[in-house]
């Protein structure tokens, strides 16, 4: 089999480097304009340049999202952005808006364009349309089943690729094209400013019957009416491969390095194991499941792949995440000494786990913590503090420290 690409999100330059180290074949990121994650840290132009350099040096690719639905005032900014990107040669632009697509074709024809899921790509006729425009990859709408994807694959040219989401948060609106945020808060989800009102608690009351709550609700306290479970297809790599999907995409440009590295490592192992020996993949399913559960997530479902989601795909009683492990930091090195920029509190004497790119997880005890000024401390209560750490075992750059929540 031809291995599908593992495509991971990168919300920052540090996370880009981490996910590539943990197995990503490609990353997608947003610049400071035109991206549908305006609240993410996003990348400055120098960071995009460095990210592309690092990725290419490590045999990976970088796709830059320019997937907003543009208004008139966005077009001049888009022209400037595309011309600047042309200096760094990303491997593709991710675009949904026909106006931005036309601009990119005329200004930077040497940069391939991938059509975003925002463009509602639900049938092979749409794929054939984009192929005639010179596009070689289209991101499938999340509303498609495995059987629909197979049919699309059977009806498009061999040189055209299907990219599909396999893991991460599900949007309640059609292919992510949501109006609720704009209506309730004036912040446009289609311009990257979504306030995620699908995760809020709601009551439903008929206008002429104030105080009478509709029986769909769990109780008198309301419900999280639009709160979908997260997508997880780690158990279904064979079906995804059989459907002809070329790129397995993970959602999550707002997520931590722990989330991104954990998911990348699990899917990397699953893809490689299945390609080498399907029996190995089936035997290791408990490990993959356990690993993807070690990062902060909601409950999991399989989205639209096997059936239309019903009530079982929603979480009605809360909007909280499941958090079994806490991210402490990622190891860096200064003059041969391992250090981390601490993310959450931990103390000398605590048991932690060292997560490594090779798939190993090493238990360890925190034996010592030293600040940048040379002061030995018993605990690290302040996020962002630079700490030299002694775990009694050798530590390498990109090792991730985590502890049981």
Concatenate the DSSP letters of all residues of 55-102 into one string: HHHTT-EEEEE--S---TTHHHHHHHHHHHHTTT--SEEEE--HHHHH
What is the structure's pLDDT at 327?
Answer: 92
Instruction: Round to whole Å and give the CA distance between 115 and 99.
Output: 13
Mean pLDDT by runs of 10 across the 405 residues of the chain is 94 95 97 66 90 98 93 92 96 96 97 95 97 97 94 98 92 62 62 62 67 54 64 96 97 89 97 97 96 81 80 53 84 92 94 96 96 93 90 96 92
| CA dihedral of 397, 13, 295, 140, whole degrees rounded to 10 | -130
3-state SS record for 53-67: HHHHHCCCEEEEECC
What is the structure's pLDDT at 265?
Answer: 97
Question: Burial code of 126-158, b = ≥16 C-beta within 10 A, e = fewer?
Answer: bbeebbeeebbbbbbbbbbebebbbebbeebee
Instruction: Round to whole Å and give the CA distance between 142 and 154.
Output: 19
Q: Name the nearest CA neighbour of 255 among 307, 297, 313, 200.
A: 297
Phi/psi region, residue 329 (left: phi>0; alpha: psi -120 to 50; beta: rest), is left
DSSP state of 264: H
What is the structure's pLDDT at 314?
Answer: 54
Going by C-beta distance under 8 Å and a sequence separation of 6 or more, which residues neighbour residue 394?
Answer: none
Instruction: Round to whole Å and give the CA distance between 247 and 117.
Output: 13
Phi/psi region, residue 186 (left: phi>0; alpha: psi -120 to 50; beta: rest), is left
pTM of the model as a whole? 0.85
In sign, the C-alpha dihedral spanning 221, 317, 189, 47 is: positive
**CA angle (293 as vertex; 236, 15 as ends), nearest 5:** 95
What is the structure's pLDDT at 179?
Answer: 61
What is the structure's pLDDT at 228?
Answer: 74
Q: Which residue's entry shows tokens 């888009």?
A: 78
> Long-range contacts for 290-295 (Cβ within 8 Å, ≥24 apart)?
291/262, 291/265, 291/266, 292/167, 292/232, 292/234, 292/262, 292/263, 292/266, 293/322, 293/324, 294/262, 294/324, 294/325, 294/402, 295/255, 295/256, 295/258, 295/259, 295/262, 295/263, 295/325
Q: Hey, which bits of 142-296 come out as E strands?
A: 161-168, 230-232, 247-250
What is the structure's pLDDT at 316?
Answer: 47
**Alpha-carbon distance values, 163 to 28, 94, 116 (Å):** 12, 11, 9
Both structure tokens of 364: 């360890």
Both structure tokens of 402: 């985590």
What is the structure's pLDDT at 180?
Answer: 64
Instruction: Round to whole Å and give the CA distance between 364 and 152.
Output: 49
Helix or strand or coil: residue 337? strand
Residue 183 is inside which H or E element, if any? helix 180-185
Both structure tokens of 388: 């030299």
């Amino acid at each position: 089999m031809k291995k599908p690409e593992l495509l991971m999100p990168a919300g920052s330059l540090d996370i880009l480097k981490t996910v590539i180290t943990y197995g990503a074949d490609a990353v997608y990121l947003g610049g400071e304009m035109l991206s549908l994650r305006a609240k993410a840290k996003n990348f400055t132009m120098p960071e995009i340049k460095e990210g592309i350099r690092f990725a290419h040096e490590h045999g990976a690719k970088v796709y830059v999202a320019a997937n907003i639905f543009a208004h008139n005032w966005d077009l001049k900014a888009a022209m400037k952005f595309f011309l600047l990107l042309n200096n760094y040669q990303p491997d593709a632009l991710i675009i949904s808006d026909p106006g931005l697509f036309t601009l990119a074709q005329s200004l930077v024809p040497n940069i391939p364009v991938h059509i975003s899921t925002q463009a509602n790509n639900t049938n092979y006729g749409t794929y054939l349309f984009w192929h005639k425009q010179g596009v070689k990859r289209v991101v499938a709408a999340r509303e498609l089943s495995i059987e629909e994807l197979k049919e699309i694959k059977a009806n498009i040219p061999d040189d055209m690729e299907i990219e599909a989401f396999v893991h991460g948060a599900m949007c309640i609106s059609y292919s992510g094209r949501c109006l609720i945020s704009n209506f309730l808060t004036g912040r446009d989800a289609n311009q990257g400013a979504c306030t995620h009102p699908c995760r809020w608690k709601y009551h439903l009351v008929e206008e002429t019957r104030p105080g009478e709550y509709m029986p769909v609700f769990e109780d008198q306290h309301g419900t999280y009416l639009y709160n979908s479970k997260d997508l997880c297809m780690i158990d279904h790599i064979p079906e995804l491969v059989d459907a002809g999907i070329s790129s397995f995409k993970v959602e999550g440009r707002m997520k931590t390095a722990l989330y991104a590295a954990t998911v990348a490592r699990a899917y990397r192992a699953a893809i490689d194991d299945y390609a080498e020996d399907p029996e190995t993949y089936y035997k290791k399913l408990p490990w993959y499941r356990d690993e993807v559960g070690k990062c902060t997530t909601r409950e999991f479902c399989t989205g639209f792949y096997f059936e239309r989601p019903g009530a079982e795909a929603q979480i009605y009683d809360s909007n909280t995440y499941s958090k079994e492990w806490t991210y402490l930091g990622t190891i860096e090195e200064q003059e041969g000494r391992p250090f981390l920029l601490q993310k959450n509190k931990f103390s000398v004497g605590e048991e932690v786990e060292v997560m490594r790119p090779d798939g190993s997880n090493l238990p360890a005890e925190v034996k010592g913590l030293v600040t940048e000024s040379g002061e030995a401390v018993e605990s690290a209560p302040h996020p962002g503090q630079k700490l030299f750490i002694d775990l009694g075992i050798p530590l390498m750059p990109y090792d991730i420290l985590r502890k049981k929540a």
